Amino acid sequence: MHIEQTRSPGGRFAHLDHDQLRRLVGMVEHDPAGDPFPVTGWDAVVWVVGNATQAAHFYRTAFGMELVAYSGPETGNRDHKAFVLQSGAVRFVLTGGVDPASPLLDRHRRHGDGIADIALEVPDVDRAVAHARATGATILDEPHDVADAHGTVRLAALAAYGDTWHTLVDRSRYRGPYLPGFVACTDARRPRLFQALDHVVGNVALGQMDRWVEFYNRVMGFTNMAEFIGDDIATEYSALMSKVVANGNHQVKFPLNEPALGKKRSQIDEYLQFHDGPGVQHLALATGDILGSVDAMRAAGVEFLDTPASYYTDPALRARIGEVRAPIEELASRGILVDRDEDGYLLQIFTRPLGDRPTVFFELIERHGSLGFGKGNFQALFEAIEREQERRGNF
Ligand SMILES: [Fe+2]
């Protein structure tokens, strides 16, 4: 790793125009004028992991992400290491405790590798926090400036489900590689296997889904999207209920799951047990070439859920999905799922949980007009997940 003090030119959106981003993640037109809590987009997904040094290696080699900034003992941060990785508009910050007294190690002891902070970019941190306070949110960090030679960032933080929080970031007056205290890094050029973050899914406890949907409605002005998974779909298989909230232009989408009572133990219950409470279940990464991304990631050792062969030969499914951009055999050989709605279709695939605990996993998604989340694939997906649960003896 080579650390340098200057930042290479070009922002993280330099290669992505608005129209490409809109198609990739299914954005809609939105007038921010009447929005009580405008959100410009995702800022970063901040992880706490057991070994950030090795996790950074994994996301660089297997996920094709580039190291862009670093903070750690070498830069004066005695508490922990933090690696900032980027792919297109997606930014991950991988943090791990160095000092045995680091609070990150306490968090890791409880939750294992996972996401602590879903940071959001807002145009006005103070206004957002004032609205959040007035609507009953817990303010973890009051608005404050942090500054270095590259400028000033204004930050605040709100509590979300479980031990998750949302840092609110206004970096309009900042030119550094990430945040004050981080130094820029120059990494090898890597294949860009995904370009944008599509959605971040939270698992909450039984009976808490509507409470958190209402939280995002009330505090952040997020609206409910059409997709709703009720126990009518869920009970026959791994039981869950799911609703989706989104910011005004649908760039930031939060599906929220809760377990439902089913015939067998729910995948959400397994998550809540091993994560020791609510938290982020999966991140969906938008790609323009899901076949190429899956091939590259699989070659690097990323394991995807198997899809039953019957999924592709089922005449009802074939009739439902119609014509898609790749031959069905190409999708079948990779286990890529298809879903279609009135707006178009999407291709998607899910990884196995990436850490030691059966908690966080990833989705790759390639949208072709569809604004959904693959509701039609829940049944096929649940069957595949349950086979995995069975192998772990947690079913
Ligand atoms: Fe998803």
State both tokens at 108: 């890791």
* Digitized pLDDT (tens) for each residue of the chain, 395 residues in all: 444 333 333 345 556 788 889 999 999 988 888 899 999 999 999 999 999 999 999 999 999 999 999 999 999 999 999 999 999 999 999 999 999 999 999 999 999 999 999 999 999 999 999 999 999 999 999 999 999 999 999 999 999 999 999 999 999 999 999 999 999 999 988 889 999 999 999 999 999 999 999 999 999 999 999 888 887 666 566 678 999 999 999 999 999 999 987 767 788 999 999 999 999 999 999 999 999 999 999 999 999 998 877 788 777 777 777 889 999 899 999 999 999 989 999 999 999 999 999 999 999 999 999 999 988 887 766 676 777 788 888 87
Distance (Å) from CA 290 to ligand 1 centroid? 15
Domain ranges of the chain: 2-184, 196-392
Query: Which CATH fold would you assign to the domain 2-184?
Result: 2,3-Dihydroxybiphenyl 1,2-Dioxygenase; domain 1 (3.10.180)
282 belongs to an annotated ligand binding site: yes
Distance (Å) from CA 89 to ligand 1 centroid? 18
Distance (Å) from CA 177 to ligand 1 centroid? 29
Distance (Å) from CA 282 to ligand 1 centroid? 7
Neighbours of ion ligand 1 (CB under 5 A): 284, 363
- Are the folds of 2-184 and 196-392 the same? yes
Task: Give the pLDDT of residue 11.
Answer: 46
Distance (Å) from CA 199 to ligand 1 centroid? 7
Q: Is 12 left (phi over 0), alpha (psi -120 to 50) or beta?
A: alpha
- Hey, CA dihedral for 194, 22, 164, 66, is it positive or negative? positive
Distance (Å) from CA 12 to ligand 1 centroid? 24
Task: Give the pLDDT of residue 387.
Answer: 75
Task: Give the pLDDT of residue 360.
Answer: 98
Q: 261 burial class (0-12, 13-18, 19+ CB within 10 angstroms)?
A: exposed
Distance (Å) from CA 256 to ligand 1 centroid? 10
pTM here? 0.93
Task: Find out whether 178 and 69 touch, Cβ atoms under 8 Å.
Answer: yes
Distance (Å) from CA 373 to ligand 1 centroid? 6
Distance (Å) from CA 380 to ligand 1 centroid? 14
199 belongs to an annotated ligand binding site: yes
Distance (Å) from CA 104 to ligand 1 centroid? 27
Distance (Å) from CA 185 to ligand 1 centroid? 31
Q: 6 burial class (0-12, 13-18, 19+ CB within 10 angstroms)?
A: exposed
**Number of residues assigned to the chain:** 395
Distance (Å) from CA 284 to ligand 1 centroid? 5
Query: Which CATH fold would you assign to the domain 196-392?
Result: 2,3-Dihydroxybiphenyl 1,2-Dioxygenase; domain 1 (3.10.180)
Distance (Å) from CA 280 to ligand 1 centroid? 11
Q: 392 burial class (0-12, 13-18, 19+ CB within 10 angstroms)?
A: exposed
383 belongs to an annotated ligand binding site: no
Distance (Å) from CA 363 to ligand 1 centroid? 6
Strand ranges of the sheet holding 165-170, from the earlier edge strand across to the other edge:
2-4, 183-186, 66-71, 80-87, 90-97, 41-48, 114-121, 165-170, 151-159, 139-148
Contacts within 8 Å (CB) and 24+ apart, 329-334? 330/291, 331/291, 332/307, 334/291, 334/294, 334/295, 334/298, 334/304
